[in-house]
Amino acid sequence: MGVTKVHNEYIKRVPEWSRIADVLSGRDAIIAGGQEYLPMLESHRRDYLKYRAYQSRGIFYNATALSHQSYLSAIFRRDPTLRLSGRTEHMRENITGVGDNFYTFAKTATGEVLGKGRYGLMLDRPRDGGAPYVVGYCAGQVRNWRLRGVDA
């Protein structure tokens, strides 16, 4: 699987991840989704302004986002424990190399896994031998992958 090839699972999941992102974003994203989320009635086809009025009156109770936030809050009710060696101690306050602390990064990654079921993490180090850092990738940013078993 080369870098230019897209994984079949990715192709199947992109529309789902897009809908999840819209729902978690809230009412404005759902309204911006237009007919994907709120199809036009027959009378709206003759008068688009009626559709826009119909759309603007719509109520979107976002139980999904409320549940997502509740789960995330429950998981992070207590601060996560992080054990680092001397060479990686800097990662507690700057895990990404651009100032994000471990807590913020962990909460972002966990939120993505709760919402979309996956989040990519890559540990990298500058060519000059500088301090290692972690880069996070949302589900839609990882277009191809391989899986292999590892003895636990």
- Write down the mean pLDDT value for the chain: 91
In a 3-state reduction of DSSP, which class is residue 122? strand
Q: Is the pLDDT of residue 149 over 70?
A: yes
Amino acid letter, residue 98: V
Q: Is the pLDDT of residue 125 over 50?
A: yes
Query: Which DSSP state fits 40?
Result: P
- What does 104-125 look like in DSSP terms, one character per residue? HHHHHHHHHHHHHS-EEEEEE-
* CA-based R_g, the chain, Å: 21
- pLDDT of res. 1: 47
The H or E element that residue 136 is part of is: strand 133-138
Q: How far apart are CA 43 and CA 41, in angstroms?
A: 5
Please give the span between the terminal C-alpha atoms of the chain, in angstroms, as a whole number. 26
CB 68 within 8 A of CB 24: yes
**What pTM was estimated for this model as a whole?**
0.83
Residue 14's pLDDT band, with cuts at 50, 70 and 90, is: very high
Q: What pLDDT digit, counting tens, does each position of 66-122 carry? A: 999 999 999 999 988 888 888 888 889 999 989 999 999 999 999 999 999 999 999
- pLDDT of res. 93: 92
